[in-house]
Every structure is written in structure tokens, then in C-alpha cells.
Chains A and B, each alone.
Chain A
Amino acid sequence: TQLLEQSPQFLSIQEGENLTVYCNSSSVFSSLQWYRQEPGEGPVLLVTVVTGGEVKKLKRLTFQFGDARKDSSLHITAAQPGDTGLYLCAGVRFNKFYFGSGTKLNVKP
């Protein structure tokens, strides 16, 4: 069983639509990170959230850390084909990284 549950697993949308990816757990994390991975490459860090309730924005991407530091969400506004990829959340707990299973996003032009 994964410590971090990510949903949805797959998402196929049209360019211009909005979407939200969720990352949930019953465990508390000291920080949570979001990565994007493209085929043939390793994950690339997008953001780190540390404080409960923290919200960070990266252009059209908005990341939120839950108040209790057990969950997080990633919201993309007006998705573009360049957003296509595998999105992974990762929580840090006792100096170990625990990754969610990932959300495969496909944005069609």
C-alpha cells in the first residue's frame, strides 16, 4: 500500500481546460514536493511546500499543502500541450521520500 495516494491516475483533457490533481495520506509529512517527469527522463522538481496551509504559484500551476500536512493538491489553469507528463507528489517523513503513484496528464491541442 502506498503511503501517498494520488488521484486521478490518468487525465486526458483539451487545451485550455483546468484540472486538479490530489495527493492524500493519513500520515503527516514535514514537507511535500511535486515533480514532473517526461518520458526517458528523471523527475524534475516543481515546488516544495513546508507549512500547513501553504499555497505556492508557479505561473499557471497552483500548489497547496493541507492544514494538517497530510495532503496536497496541484491545480493547473488553462492547460497547454506542454504540460503533458507524469506528475508525482513526494512527501518527506523521517528523512525519507515517499512518492505517490503519479498522475499521467495528456493535454490535447
Chain B
Amino acid sequence: KAGVTQTPRYLIKTRGQQVTLSCSPISGHRSVSWYQQTPGQGLQFLFEYFSETQRNKGNFPGRFSGRQFSNSRSEMNVSTLELGDSALYLCASSWLEGGTDTQYFGPGTRLTVL
């Protein structure tokens, strides 16, 4: 069974631009969560989608948004990029929503904002 895939793997943008990251969960998984990983703050929860609905949200500004499609694939969008948005963005999928099930992480998208 294929694992969680994320595209693109690497991305370079400039301040003020916007970016869209994509995550394809393991087949059959309906929950997709997004995380931001930085050396200073570690891994921080952005949001979780289950069956196309946002179920949980972390403490990030409204510039960070996401959505989930009927096939469970998810996208994350960051608008008006700032230097501090440079990070590894990870998505994780699971069968069940919330913290009730094992999460399987993708390899991440490394975003660099110049």
C-alpha cells in the first residue's frame, strides 16, 4: 500500500507570494492533519480535516488555510508569505479523526521564503 505522498518536496518563494501544498493520504484514510516543523518551535499542529470538514485548528493566523476533497486528498494554502513561514510542512493521515488513531506522516514539503 502506498504511503502518504506530498508534493512538491521542495519550494522556494519570495515574501508576499502565496503557496499551495498538496497531500495524498494512504488509500482509505479519511483524516488528514497538517503540521509545521521548524528548528525553533518544533512540530506544531495547523489543522485537521476529516471527510472534507475541518475538525480541529491550531493557533496559526488566517493566512494558513486548507481544504480536503472528496477523495480525501488535501491542500494547504499560505497567503502573503513571510520569512518566518520557512519550514518543513508535514501532513499525516489516519483512518479515524482526532487523536484516536495512528498517524502516518508523509516526507514533507520544505518551503523556503526569501
- Could you list which residues of chain A lie within 8 angstroms of chain B, going by C-beta atoms? 2, 30-31, 35, 40-45, 48, 88, 90, 92-93, 95-102
Contacts and interface: CB of A to CB of B under 8 A. Distances in A.
B42 A42 contact: no
Nearest to B42: A101
A55 B42 CA distance: 26
Contacts of A97: 33, 45, 99, 103
B100 A42 contact: no
Contact of A96 (B45, B92, B108): B45
Contacts of B43: 43, 88, 90, 99, 102
A-B CB proximity, top 8 nearest? A42-B105, A92-B99, A95-B98, A99-B43, A101-B42, A95-B99, A43-B105, A42-B90
B112 interface: no
18 contacts: A42-B106, A43-B43, A43-B90, A43-B105, A44-B105, A48-B102, A88-B43, A90-B43, A95-B56, A95-B97, A96-B45, A96-B48, A96-B99, A97-B45, A98-B45, A99-B42, A99-B45, A102-B42
> Chain A contact residues: over half helix, strand or loop, or mixed?
strand
Interface residues of B, number: 25
A44 B97 CA distance: 18
Given A88-B43, A100-B42, A42 B99 contact: no
Contact of B4 (A42, A45, A99): A42
A41 B106 CA distance: 7
A96 B44 CA distance: 10
Contacts of A45: 102-104
A92 B102 CA distance: 11
A42 B107 contact: yes
B58 interface: yes
Contacts of A98: 45
Contacts of A102: 42-43
Contacts of A95: 55-56, 97-100
